[in-house]
Amino acid sequence: MKKIVALALALCMIAILAVASAEPTKLTAWTFIAQHQEYYEGMAEKWNAEHPDEQIEIEVTTLGYDDMHNKMKVALQSDQGAPDACDVELGQFPNILAFNDKLVELDSYIEPLKDDIVTARLEIYSKDGHYYGMPLHVGAMVAYYRVDLLEKAGVDYTTIKTWDDWYEAGLKVKEATGAWMGTVETSTQWVTTLMLGQQGTDWQKDGTVLVNTPEVAKAIDTQKKWLEAGIAEVCPGGQPDTEEGKAYIANNDIASVIMPFWYMSRFTGEIGEVRADQYVIAPCPVFEEGQIRSVGAGGTGTVIYKNGTNADLAARFFTYAKISDEGNRYVWKVLGFDPVNKAVWEDEALMKDEENAFNKYFVGYPVDGLLPIKDEIGAMISNEISPTINNYLGTTLWNEVYVDGVDTAEALEAAQDSIESDLF
């Protein structure tokens, strides 16, 4: 009896192995955003429908932000255990690019699609003229306004053109409703980076750190003024895209949130129904009219591991999933990001589909906040010295100027010195 059972089990094993070997090619991928996992799985289904003789099975693992990037760095350094593909956040990209000899050069995959794509988004993931990362979205900075609060205060959001207008509107909102006009970030710098882009500068140029500049001081003083006037508060959790930040927006009256376009998915996701039909998406204010109204902020570039067993297939699949026309339509439908293929933006049937979850959630159509800034999206540098700069800004500088009330000039001087001494 025992022998028969053993034999049956052995046969089962063989059967399972035989089936397994006939299965589609397995691709592994790491990401740190849960929504991306669903997205890739959806795109894999589409791929399999279109490529019957090249079936794939994608295994996406979602890890924590720091955890995933650190694991990837160690995996590349030791050349062991890296997945076929990995989503790398823009701020971390320079660290991963240090191992570009272990990543697939994506030029030949991207070339046929290049004309339709916002090239600035490809260049942020490049090194020495070669592309290593596949972009997913533009990440244009936009303003999310609470229409109901602004109406109560008698403000028409379309008339907010400059930061001065925004400030005046904030005073009115505070007067009429007691609500906050906005938040000030202390752990990152979406708004401050936008303000720098608007003034035509960046955090660095040609390897020189540009923290102690009049442009940065102007951005800080503008936001200090909001705090002093009591129209904005330091954001809990350090910035709106944290657990605490999202809970704060869901549970408090915040008349405007200045964040990248991808923040839309946080509204429909974690912030949820409580804020449905309240926010509208519009271009950001500027210092002086004529300045660019947006910069590309944040984003993930998918890198392909060169020494993986399926590097070519992985590169082709992720090209299809992330930057093809088909992929870009799906990006909008599922993730609500601003696709890198701008031709898709103008497709009214797609972008203004009434059934789309984002069109349902927001007042008006989100794309109406995006189309006017189509040609005004600046690109900010991210390279190997960026992590050091961002680290100091996010841990020390913002807390000094906004929480401890340190004098702007003094804090900036210390910041410049400290960052330069950290760059050894």
Partner 1 sequence: MQTTTKTPVSSRNKWKKTAYLLVISVVLLALGLAAMFTLGTSSIRFDTAYDNGADLSPYYFEPLAEGEAYSALQKAWLAIARNRMVPIFAAIVVFVLFVALNRELLYSQNVAPYVFVLPFILTFLVFFLYPLISTIMMSFQDIKGSGTTWIGLKNYENMFANKNFWIAVKNSMRYMVWTCAILIPMPLVLAYLLNSKMMPQKFADIFKTISYMPVLCSVVVAGIIFRMMFSELDGAMMNQIRASFGLAPIAWLKGESTSMFAMVLLCMWRWTGMNILYYMAGLKSIPGDLYEAAEIDGANEFQKFWNVILPLLKPTAIYVLTISIYAGLSMFTESYMVFGNNNSPKNYGLTIVGYLYRYGFEKVDKFGFASAVGLVLLAGAMIITVIQLIATGTIKIGKNKED
> Residue 285 has what DSSP assignment?
P
The binding track of 299-338 with respect to partner 1, each residue x by CB under 8 A or -, is: --------x-------------------------------
Q: Are 27 and 310 in contact (CB under 8 A)?
A: yes
Helix (H) or strand (E) holding 62: strand 56-62
Q: Is 158 in the site for partner 1 (CB under 8 A)?
A: no
CA–CA dist 241, 266 (Å, integer): 8
* Residue selected from 268, 278, 291, 396 as contacting partner 1 according to rule CB under 8 A: 396
Q: What is the CA radius of gyration of the chain?
A: 24
Residue 324, C-beta contacts closer than 8 angstroms, at least 6 positions apart: 113
Q: Is 268 in the site for partner 1 (CB under 8 A)?
A: no
Told to check if 213 binds partner 1 by CB under 8 A, we report no
Residue 402 and residue 407: Cα distance in Å, rounded? 10
Report if residue 55 touches partner 1, rule: CB under 8 A: no
Residue with tokens 């100091």: 392
Looking at beta carbons only, is 324 or 390 nearer to partner 1?
390
* Whole-angstrom distance, CA of residue 120 vs CA of residue 423: 27
**424 lines the binding site for partner 1 (CB under 8 A):** yes
Out of 30, 40, 99, 132, point to the residue binding partner 1 (CB under 8 A).
99
Q: Which two tokens stand for residue 11?
A: 């046969």
For 42, phi and psi rounded to 5 degrees? Answer: -65, -45
Closest to partner 1 by CB, 236 or 336:
236
Minimum distance of partner 1 from residue 281's CB (angstroms): 26
Choices 64-72, 115-123, 159-167, 176-184; region in contact with partner 1 by CB under 8 A: 64-72
Compute the least distance from the CB of residue 357 to partner 1, in Å. 27
Beta-bridge partners for 418: none
Among 57, 111, 395, 407, binds partner 1 (CB under 8 A): 395
Residue in 31, 126, 183, 186 binding partner 1, rule: CB under 8 A: 186
Please tell me the distance from the alpha carbon of residue 58 to that of residue 63, in angstroms, as a whole number. Answer: 16
CB 150 within 8 A of CB 169: yes
Q: Determine the Cα–Cα distance for residues 293 and 283; give it in Å rounded to an integer.
A: 6
227 binds partner 1 (CB under 8 A): no
- Residue 324 CB, nearest distance to partner 1 (Å)? 31
Q: Give the nearer residue to partner 1 in terms of CB position, either 71 or 137.
A: 71
Closest CA to 163 of 234, 258, 249: 258
247 binds partner 1 per the rule CB under 8 A: yes
Number of DSSP helices (H) and strands (E) in the chain, helices first: 21, 15
Binder of partner 1 out of 83, 197, 238, 336 (CB under 8 A) = 238
- For 31, the 3-state DSSP assignment is strand
Is residue 98 near partner 1 by the rule CB under 8 A?
yes
Strands 126-127 and 208-209: unpaired
Q: Is 73 in the site for partner 1 (CB under 8 A)?
A: yes
Among 248, 267, 358, 365, binds partner 1 (CB under 8 A): 248
Residue 257 per-residue DSSP state: E
Minimal distance, residue 394 CB to partner 1, in Å: 6
Q: Considering only residues 76-95, where is the footprint of partner 1 by CB under 8 A?
A: 76-80, 95
Q: Are 385 and 209 in contact (CB under 8 A)?
A: yes
Amino acid at 221: D
> Which of 282, 260, 262 lies closest to 169 in space, CA to CA?
282
Q: How far is the CB of 7 from partner 1 (least distance, A)?
A: 33
Q: How many residues bind partner 1 (CB under 8 A)?
A: 40
Among 236, 283, 299, 308, binds partner 1 (CB under 8 A): 236
15: left (phi over 0), alpha (psi -120 to 50) or beta: alpha
Whose Cβ is closer to partner 1: residue 66's or residue 228's? 66
The answer to the question of residue 65 lying near partner 1 (CB under 8 A) is yes
Told to check if 32 binds partner 1 by CB under 8 A, we report no
Distance (Å, rounded) from C-alpha 163 to C-alpha 165?
A: 5
**Nearest CB to partner 1, comparing residues 98 and 379:** 98
Residue 244, interface with partner 1 (CB under 8 A)? yes
Task: Choose the binding region for partner 1 from 48-56, 63-71, 104-112, 146-154 (rule: CB under 8 A).
Answer: 63-71
B/e letters for 56-70, b = 16+ CB within 10 Å, e = fewer, are bebebebbeeeebbe
Q: Which residues bind partner 1 (CB under 8 A)?
A: 65-66, 69-70, 73-74, 76-80, 95, 98-99, 101, 186-187, 234, 236-238, 242, 244, 247-248, 251, 307, 387-388, 391, 394-396, 399-400, 403, 418, 421-422, 424
